[in-house]
Structure 1
């Protein structure tokens, strides 16, 4: 594993955007793995003056660790509303037949349903909730749009996990997000236990970008949404990051939430318990960081996975 920046020509190659040439500050999917410092802010607004739901100390915590937890973002009756809506979507034959519904690789169980804010008015309203989008605006220092939304379902007795990865590596290489100006929020619809395949993050890992080795296969998303391989760091890189930063496992009751930076190294294990784990996952990208052409893939992924222009700010 390389721990130094590649040559300037490799590190700052460019692609043709809609109206300009966009520098590639985060090379990936090349012949070798690279590890380079982050070149972007984490919190794009002044933590002391940014208006919104987050307190200044919470924004500083996000800057330092790459994540922020909220013990109760939504109320129990709201959890019930969103859980019922998830059940309705997952049992709807039309949704199950849609390409936006992803099933487990070893079964026909629903794994994820993408673009839920377009499939469901209930989830569209959640995206616009000031408790949700307000935090994203504070962190990113601008208006935002939804780059991706989905519900994740981890039924008990064998639902598979998500291997270690940086979302930004994929969104940069395959969706064309130029900079690290994107934040995710995961809202628990069931209790997150320390045994049912919860989210794990390496605190502070967002300050380092790992550019993964290997070309992106054509239509990689068809495989990666079930089991990701392209865009995953080497064992050596993951060990080095874990040794440096440690690993945090997130637990919490239904209604709790975790916001995390796009470049956090994170993953989750299989759920072999009887207790399901479900969450709604919304990715907000800055309107000033709009997607262009992919930096490391032959074509963009479908719009239901990564939004394509024109982009509309969340209001």
Structure 2
């Protein structure tokens, strides 16, 4: 598979980090790029995705698959070599694992999953092209210790720090445990994918080392968040283990900390179009490592 290289456009359509105050830009690209790729999503699901920026799948994986994946995640979190790996992020206030990046390169079981037609097929349908893995990770929120993820658009970070030119990427979040309203479930502002919100604050060198633990640069201002929430409302995504949420790269989303006894663990896989290859960062001194944003090793 070839990733097509792109140079910076003469004008940055989505300026961010080098701005002051509130700046909102209407989306320039399609949401669903083409209907030429057959796949598991029907027309109603694609229309819902185009309208809201996300669609939920009630049961993407079966119970036996969930048991195996949960056991694998438990094994990885207990492996001293994995915990010491730079791809593993530890909670800032405890020794619990927060995230494991590039998990499909650490685990053969996860590598098999990211190639699954149930996932790749949905990504190709939405993006209208062949795809590759931009990022994969496991996100864990253990009971009592799981910190939250503040409101953000993934595309804002991927554009600023990874050099992703266009909003032509899709994320699939798969629940490995039940996602309740009270244990840090994903929150999305439906329809927010049509507005790009620039974020103030210069990107420091090596920003990923702190932002993966707690993000501050790359978060929207309160006025923009309030305006989007007033316009679109907030959907809380709940569901049993095996359910999934497919969402656009520019959705405004976040999640609260988990202060309940009930853990929340999700797999998170990002597919990018091969026609949307990363270039130099738009608002960062250097690209983030390949294990966070794939540049040289495409996978489909």
> TM-score when scaled to structure 1?
0.92
State the alpha-carbon separation in 2 of the partners of residues 289 and 172 from structure 1.
Answer: 11
State the alpha-carbon separation in 1 of the partners of residues 28 and 137 from structure 2.
Answer: 28
C-alpha contact (below 8 Å) 2:6/2:276 kept by paired residues: no
State the alpha-carbon separation in 2 of the partners of residues 60 and 298 from structure 1.
Answer: 38
| 1:312 paired to 2:289 | no
| 1:103 paired to 2:103 | no
Look up the match of 1:62: 49
Instruction: Count residues with an aligned counterpart.
Output: 295
Unaligned runs of 5+ in 1: 1-16
The residue matched to 1:209 in structure 2 has which SS? strand
C-alpha contact (below 8 Å) 2:162/2:281 kept by paired residues: yes
Q: Describe the superposition over 1:34-76 as per-residue Cα deviations: whole angstroms up to 9, x where unpaired.
A: 1010001000012xx5410000110010000000100000000
- Aligned counterparts, 1:254-293, within 5 A: 254-293=241-280
1:18 positional shift: 6.1
State the alpha-carbon separation in 1 of the partners of residues 243 and 178 from structure 2.
Answer: 9
State the alpha-carbon separation in 2 of the partners of residues 307 and 20 from structure 1.
Answer: 17
Look up the match of 1:14: none
Unaligned runs of 5+ in 2: none
Residue of structure 1 aligned with 2:104, choices 117, 126, 132 = 117
State the alpha-carbon separation in 1 of the partners of residues 95 and 43 from structure 2.
Answer: 45
Look up the match of 1:11: none
Look up the match of 2:33: 44
Specify whether residues 80 and 38 from structure 1 end up closer, same or farther in structure 2 by C-alpha distance, changes over 3 A only.
same
State the alpha-carbon separation in 2 of the partners of residues 76 and 291 from structure 1.
Answer: 36
| 1:155 paired to 2:148 | no
Q: Describe the superposition over 1:190-232 as per-residue Cα deviations: whole angstroms up to 9, x where unpaired.
A: 0001100000000000000001111101111111001100010
C-alpha contact (below 8 Å) 1:196/1:273 kept by paired residues: yes
| 1:132 paired to 2:119 | yes
C-alpha contact (below 8 Å) 1:287/1:313 kept by paired residues: no
Q: Which moved more, 1:17-26 or 1:153-162?
A: 17-26
Specify whether residues 39 and 196 from structure 1 end up closer, same or farther in structure 2 by C-alpha distance, changes over 3 A only.
same
C-alpha contact (below 8 Å) 2:8/2:165 kept by paired residues: no
* Structure having greater relative contact order (Cα 8 Å, sep ≥ 6): 2
Look up the match of 1:4: none
Specify whether residues 254 and 21 from structure 1 end up closer, same or farther in structure 2 by C-alpha distance, changes over 3 A only.
closer
Question: Which aligned runs of 4 or more in structure 1 are off by greater than 4 angstroms?
Answer: none
Q: Describe the superposition over 1:149-188 as per-residue Cα deviations: whole angstroms up to 9, x where unpaired.
A: 0001100013100000000000000001000000000000
C-alpha contact (below 8 Å) 1:114/1:151 kept by paired residues: yes
State the alpha-carbon separation in 2 of the partners of residues 265 and 116 from structure 1.
Answer: 24
C-alpha contact (below 8 Å) 2:7/2:279 kept by paired residues: no
C-alpha contact (below 8 Å) 2:96/2:145 kept by paired residues: no
The residue matched to 2:196 in structure 1 has which SS? strand
The residue matched to 2:138 in structure 1 has which SS? strand
Residue of structure 2 aligned with 1:236, choices 210, 216, 223 = 223
